[in-house]
Structure 1
């Protein structure tokens, strides 16, 4: 993903190692600004947690008082139940959040490892490319080089597209939350934008967090539900208008394989694996489409599979498109 940046610096510096270091510096500056924004907002949010817990107690007691009046419940019993159970429920997500921030050393160690791996991949990329080209016959090397360029373009488009989508979603959701009256509106908005990188799961979490927060701190019920309505509206706009125009059709993947990719990526590499699931699937689809034997499988990975159910028997019912041909000497009767 840093290769285009490294290539840009190589035009001026002429040497690979300084170009790689400059590429890292280019990536670190905006990343540091983003992390500073989130950690600063999170610090303020956690500083207010004691008052939030007190606020939850007040709001819950008020609602229990209304329920006592409506259903003729015993006020003393209801109050005891609230004090024994509700505050414990509130403390669970707060404790989980604190533990998540305490695991920052593990995240930092993984980040250092990723930096080292990408450094050597960028340093040796020409050797890797030439090795792969040597495995193809001379007549197929041009097609393989085209595949490399296509994958590079796909990765670049995905990275730029995700950046644009995060910016748009952060502004849209943050502005909407600000109008609703949600504290730390743009923190929640851009957090949802970044979580959108993880399909389905990240989107849901991005909406649930401010909803739960507003349930705890808001005097009225309309604000939490307005938050949910805002997220549903923005997700419809993002799914039907923003992503198709920003990302293009090459990133559209079958939802079944997205879910499987998230599951397997999460098992193998945790959050990083879930983030990489979609681009890896998109790259795999392009690789499969390049070779005759795997070309049909690229349509299995593509979105809208139910509308293309006849394509396999109509266009790919031939021995050269059968994966089993790699293992057995099949012949058409």
Structure 2
């Protein structure tokens, strides 16, 4: 009889990476990124609908406490939110319409003021009046077109959202209506021993989104009030529109603040006859932004985001590439939600710390607590580690509650949805 030979595979090293797994991951990641980019018109309304539903959930819960029907509660919630949004839009449209009626006078005043400043400086450097005028015409066109161009691009991109506003409201309605079965579906995809930890993860994600959106609304209200009071004291016309426009643009990190301060500065140059008022506008916005960054935002938002500056800048840039202004607005809260999920997955906890604002203070963890094989990313692609939720540490011997099917705890308490 012929002896059967059995092939013996050489043992793989502990840190070896399976290129097949890595290739599969890269292919799946490329497909997901391409789908998000190509299907932006489809995913953006869904993303905003999800965030609006998380923001409006406390309001809906208040209606549900007094009404027996969830459908009626959701409808009343959307009507209340719609009235607030409609009132804000009417205010801004009326104010902007008044400014546009004076656009020619504003531009003429801007040109005249800059001519005076430039001629005064040009004579000191030996430039002729014609050279100064030519240079000023080019500079005014460039300076006025640049912020207005960025603003018009943002408004046109946001127009996609406004055009699909009804679709966003439909998504928001169904997310609020079906939030319990959606959450139970997500928990049902986990192993039974991980469902309690999954419930905790979803609760934290919901809390982050709700706190961020609600906190940003309060921050914009405070900033708009401070900006408007300061512009009124300086003597700038239309102080309400400039003050609250800067506050709303502040939702766009880094860029929005600069544009929000540049527009009233240009308006002050065009409509005032003194040099101290435009300079006072700059001082006002720098002061308000300093107060906002060091006192208002940390007190209002607290630890709801916990994203370091580097991760925030990169996420904003990536969001702008994929979804434009909508991506810039959603980048930071989405990254904050991703960070929460990563903290509950053991091999990815170092990545969560890499995104956290505690990165500098807790940098020693990478070579101490996380300096073990189970925390290395190479183990994920070598098949030695799984992306499962961390098991919850229990202080009692009672068996865990099952959430897999129709868990009474999840369904009965509307606030936990």
TM-score (norm 1): 0.88
CA distance in 2, matches of 1:312, 1:101: 43
Change (3 A) 1:328 1:174: same
Aligned twin of 2:71:
17
Q: 1:60-106 deviations in whole A, cap 9, x for unaligned?
A: 3333543465456544x257526854664476359746787677853
CA distance in 2, matches of 1:146, 1:128: 15
Change (3 A) 1:203 1:316: same
CA distance in 1, matches of 2:353, 2:90: 42
CA distance in 1, matches of 2:148, 2:244: 23
CA distance in 2, matches of 1:144, 1:98: 43
CA distance in 2, matches of 1:95, 1:118: 32
Aligned twin of 1:168:
222
**1:209 counterpart (246, 263, 277):** 263
Q: Secondary structure at the match of 1:249?
A: coil
Change (3 A) 1:221 1:149: same
Aligned twin of 2:95:
41
Maintained 8 Å contact 1:257/1:301: yes
Aligned twin of 1:249:
303
Aligned twin of 1:321:
375
Change (3 A) 1:67 1:204: closer
Maintained 8 Å contact 1:6/1:23: yes
**2:145 counterpart (79, 92, 95):** 92
Q: 1:94-130 deviations in whole A, cap 9, x for unaligned?
A: 9746787677853422323322333333333223212
Q: Secondary structure at the match of 2:209?
A: helix
Q: Secondary structure at the match of 1:307?
A: coil
Change (3 A) 1:306 1:214: same
Pairing 1:81–2:144 present: no
CA distance in 2, matches of 1:322, 1:22: 49
Aligned twin of 1:240:
294
Aligned twin of 1:192:
246
Aligned twin of 2:327:
273
Q: 1:209-259 deviations in whole A, cap 9, x for unaligned?
A: 212222333322222222111111111111111111111123131111111
Shift of 1:42: 0.9
Q: 1:259-292 deviations in whole A, cap 9, x for unaligned?
A: 1111111122221111111111111111111222
Aligned twin of 1:178:
232
Which entry has the higher C-alpha Rg, 1 or 2?
2
Shift of 1:175: 0.9
CA distance in 1, matches of 2:103, 2:96: 11
Q: Of Structure 1 and Structure 2, which has the larger fraction of its residues in helix?
A: 1
CA distance in 2, matches of 1:48, 1:29: 30
Shift of 1:138: 1.8
Aligned twin of 1:28:
82
CA distance in 2, matches of 1:242, 1:129: 33
CA distance in 2, matches of 1:243, 1:294: 28
List runs of 5+ in structure 2 lacking aligned partners.
1-53, 386-417
Q: Secondary structure at the match of 1:306?
A: coil
TM-score (norm 2): 0.71
Q: Aligned-residue CA RMSD in angstroms?
A: 2.7
Pairing 1:7–2:61 present: yes
Higher relative contact order (CA 8 A, sep 6+): 2
**2:354 counterpart (297, 300, 308):** 300
Q: 1:145-164 deviations in whole A, cap 9, x for unaligned?
A: 12222222222222221122
List runs of 5+ in structure 1 lacking aligned partners.
none
**1:230 counterpart (274, 284, 299):** 284
CA distance in 2, matches of 1:251, 1:162: 11
